Structure 1
């Protein structure tokens, strides 16, 4: 029986994830540059991850870091840098609620990229493949509904919350642009997962991969930001919400969230962890309406429900494939690496160490 402690951690992470989107949105609405946010948060994250790596690997050995692994991590850092930029630009032009809804596209795009890269087999004669294929189309349809269709207002913004609503939310004219960047972020995040699986297969040292990737992201984002950010005053920070957003992003998004997701996946498997993503969308909608005074529109409600439906169709298909792999007696990552797709291998590996 699954331990409630893992459930509590995953629910807490989803709440904190929504909080991160809200804080960064507020900071960027107040003038914080998304370029500066990415650079400073990754620099600060290095100071979090570096001592953790020394402590963790002090008494345990880690695999040898080869030149080819460093090349792979550099590619991972390049993808991560682009993903962080697109995510913060999307939040700046839209809202935390839309960001939480669009992130549910990631499982669908991950499935598509895995099929293209032949990490997953697609056989439309099998029910699980049919569910994943249909679910992917439903996910994309739901995202288009949330982005392009506003609909009638379901809730009315209280007058006492209009000021806060104007501070957190963007102009509706930028809604589609923000949704586009958030959708691109979902594609990039899916690519990030594919590359990460490719690296971990040959270099199973998650903390070191995270640290080195963070260093590359810092170098890449600083190079881009020094050219793109023309205002020198944008790099000056005061003791305000800007500093809070940078610290929140560094401690949670770049460091803590990655570590806890890895821990939860090892204990319960990736399907269990990914099932909590729609919860983040619900939390975002509820908090947006109750705390920020966000107006709930029919399009957001219908699109969110469509995304959740497609998401669970993909997850159900993955769960059925995992059961089929278990029934065939495959329980080792190494022994099955030439027989089943990589993503299924990773699932078997996590289950073996659970």
Structure 2
């Protein structure tokens, strides 16, 4: 029955978490934080049993056992020290008055969602930040964070890996192993992210570009018109956006999302499709169709936590000869149907993509592309015998 209860606990929590990866190479809290191994907790009894007679408002103080080694450890929550408010967690692996490590509390997380998280910077050589999170009364999960010192502690978008569990009662390990603790940690951080997203979106609505373009794509003559300097401060000017361009000339674009992808579609990444003149190309399908496209169409697996792409994309960029090969393939497929003097609608759609399929569109817009008649216009841009966009792609595919 205990085993069944444990499995059910994992299953329930797993339904509402974000995907994670475990890494068994990280060491115990004690091995990372203490240079001395002498006097460490004993497997027999608990040298910190007296801690259980102490109380604190967080309910954390007490004698604990480690899951990985069954040894005894002590934790004390200290609200004040020498008349100063500190809100720290003291970690003991050796009996004595002084803790081996003092960990700071992330107070805002407790105020927002009563998440009890403590952190400490070790060093670059000792695996960076270490965190402890209460996953259940009397149960703490030891976390390895991927953040560096310059990133600052406890970033919500950090990758967190549970490497050990501590419990006041060893019977708790029947339920709380590393996998179950990881699920709970992901759930707690996910709830904090959801609260943060609501606040960020409210702020973004103040900006004209986001309020007008969420769920849409903005086009411009260059990426410089679509950049901003600070996160969550989109200062781009819609007056600089375009709705029509020369076919084959530079077109930059940037999608704005109703919600970040990791919130709306956990575990997904981005895909882009292009539609024009009755043809459609799909980045992910092309990536899997040949090594040429696989090498030249990278997976878009960044910015899932953002409300827009941090760096704009381009269909083509004539100034530095950069192009999206999925767009070039669209030009190659439609070349026999295009003629000078005509204007074509290009629909660009950004998708949530997961498990080999487009799930939902998260941003979409259409721009008109004109096939110009001038000798140095569209025909030269697309079909120049050496540098034309279609010429270059066809030569590459023929190799």
TM-score (norm 2): 0.22
TM-score (norm 1): 0.24
Higher alpha-carbon Rg = 2
Higher RCO (CA < 8 A, seq sep 6+)? 1
More helix per residue: 1
More strand per residue: 2
